[in-house]
Amino acid sequence: MSADGDRRARWLLALGAAAGAILAAWSLLGSAAPGDGLPEGAIASVNGVAITQDAFAELVGAVASERRETTLDAEERRRLLDRLVDEELLLQRGLELGLPRLDRTARRAIVSAVVAAVTADAETAEPDDAALRDFLAREGDRFRSAGRVEVEILLAGVGAPRGEPEAIAYRRAVDAAARLRAGQDFESVRGELGDPVPTPPPSGLVALDELRAALGPSAAVAAETLAPGETSDPVRGAAGYLVLRLVRREPGAVPPFEAIRAQVRAELLRTTGERALSDYLATLRADADIRTAQP
C-alpha cells in the first residue's frame, strides 16, 4: 500500500471508529416503513447490505432519551438514518482496504469484540453464595494477603552523608551483602558500611505496603522473595543502595468470605469467562487448517 493509500486507510478507519463509538453509545425506539425493494425488516440497503429497522430504532430511541425528548422530527430521523448509511459505507470501505488485517487498531477492535461476545454469557451468569464459597475454598491463595515481614536494612547512600558517587556506593553495598552472606554480624557490617536510612519502616513485623512506602518498590519486591535468614542483592532506593536481610515472615491470611464476597464474585466471573474463551479457541483450532514453521 502506498503512503497516500495508507494515510487514506487510516483516515477512513478513524472515521469509522468514531462513528461506531457514537452509535454504540446510543440505544432504542422508532418505526419506519421500508421502501420498495428493501429486504423485510430493513429501513435501508447499502450495496446489498441491509440496515435493519431495529438498528435504526435503537439509535433514534437513544438519541431521544439523551435529549430527554419523547420523539424526534422527520428531519432529525432522516439525519440519523444518513449517519447509519455513512457508517456502513465506511465499514465496507475499511473491509475493502483490508484494514482488519493490516491495521493493528482495527485488528484489536475486532478481536476484542469477538472475545467480549464469547465471554459475555459466561460472565453475566450470576453465581450464588454456594458457588462463591466453593470457589474461595479451592482458590483461596488468590485472595490471601501478602503477610508481614521483619527485615534488617543496610543503606549505602549515594551522595550525603559520605559524598560518594553512585559507583562507589554500589560497590559498598555489594561488599556489605557479601559479608552478611558470609555470616558476619549485621550490626557490625551496618556500622562499618551503612548509612542512616532517611525514612525507616516501623520496627518489627510490617506489611509489605508499609515497607514499599518507606523504602520503595524494589526493596519490597526483594523482601517478598527472601527466605528467613537470606540477604538480598543491592537494590536501588531513593537515597542509595539497600541491602535487606529477612529476619522472619508472617504468612498472609485469607479474609472471611463476607469481607471479600465482591472480590470472589469478580474473580469467579473473570475465570469463567477465560474458560469459555479457552474452550471456544480450542473449537476454532480444531476446525481450522493451521500450519506453522518452527519459531
What are the pLDDT digits (tens) for 186-220?
999 999 999 999 999 999 999 988 999 999 999 99
Q: How far apart are CA 235 and CA 244, in angstroms?
A: 9
Give Cα 242 distance to the centre of its chain. Answer: 31
Q: How far apart are CA 75 and CA 272, in angstroms?
A: 47
Three cell numbers at 205?
A: 513485623
Per this entry, what is the length of the chain?
295
pLDDT at 160: 79
> pLDDT under 50 in the chain at which residues?
1-35
- Pair 84, 46: CB distance under 8 Å: no
Q: Which domains does the chain carry? A: 3-102 (no CATH), 148-250 (3.10.50.40)
Which residue in this structure is represented by grid cell 519502616? 201
- Which strands make up the sheet holding 235-236, listed edge to edge? 206-207, 148-157, 240-250, 235-236
Q: How far apart are CA 217 and CA 150, in angstroms?
A: 16
Give Cα 103 distance to the centre of its chain. Answer: 22
Of 199, 226, 230, 228, the residue nearest 212 (C-alpha): 199
Of 243, 148, 155, the residue nearest 199 (C-alpha): 155
Cα separation values, 219 from 153, 223, 242, Å: 10, 6, 7
pLDDT at 129: 95
Parallel/antiparallel/unpaired status of strands 240-250 and 42-46: unpaired
Provide DSSP, 14-43: HHHHHHHHHHHT-------PPPTTPPTTEE
What are the pLDDT digits (tens) for 18-54?
444 333 333 323 333 444 578 888 999 999 899 999 9
